[in-house]
Structure 1
């Protein structure tokens, strides 16, 4: 059925639910599970917060990338605990929905399993959720958990 399943993982409760379902499908289909954590490049608001945080690194993107790596490692641990052995993890920076769908296309994933709600922001409320955008951009089936 499915050979390669992509699960975007931001560490949220919704992402954990999607990861659990993706792990289940991976085991049922003997499919490889690919976990992707996407971080956005810092905004002006985040840059202004940087001024207040004296111990923050000079490069906010590096800090966000490091946090994304921690989140991805946590997701990989959860997937392994669910019994998944064919597992890969990636961290990418960029616009979240476009990065997810571009990654899925480039890596020939044949299913995306995504949580209905993640660590969204006010932007998500005003412009639509990441999961909704992924369904609009994706060239393969998307399962929203």
Structure 2
């Protein structure tokens, strides 16, 4: 059966619930988990904005590092004491679905366990959810958690 689950999370309540359910499944299957958090890319300067990007970029990097730590700490609080072997991976991209698929491949995951939706909001409705894109393009089985 499944021995290595990839669990992408964005820190939302629904994705935190997916982490909880993935841990339960991993314990049942004696599987390990890789938790993935995909950070947004730092916006690129346009035209005359280049001179203001230094301080903005530094603050952006501090904020994304803090967000990554918060997401991983939240996942660790669920996984701690479960006996499940877990690895934490972060990446930077404006296309999280692509990173999810490539991480599943590079980490040799045999199941992606992800929430039905995350923090997409209105933008997610307009461009399509990350979960939908993973389902449409991935060759690895995907278990969608609600």
Question: TM-score surpassing 0.5?
Answer: yes
Q: Tell me how many residue pairs correspond in the alignment.
A: 136
Measure the CA separation in 1 of the matches of 2:125 and 2:33. Answer: 29
Cα offset, 1:142, TM superposition: 0.3
- Single out whichever of 69-78 and 132-141 deviates more from structure 2: 69-78
**Corresponding residue for residue 8 of structure 2:** 8
**Corresponding residue for residue 87 of structure 2:** 88
**Corresponding residue for residue 38 of structure 1:** 38
Q: Which sections of structure 2, spanning at least 5 residues, go unmatched?
A: none
TM-score of the aligned structures, taking structure 1 as reference length:
0.83
TM-score of the aligned structures, taking structure 2 as reference length:
0.83
Cα offset, 1:59, TM superposition: 4.8
Structure 1 residues 122 and 23 mapped into 2: Cα distance closer, same or farther (>3 Å)? same
The alignment status of 1:22 with 2:22, answered yes or no, reads yes
Moved over 2 A (4+): 55-59
**SS at structure 1 position matched to 2:16:** helix
Query: In angstroms, what is the RMSD of aligned CA positions?
Result: 2.2
Q: Which sections of structure 1, spanning at least 5 residues, go unmatched?
A: none
CA shift digits 1:4-59 (9 cap, x unpaired):
00100111111012112211110011000111111111347xxx9xx8xxx96625
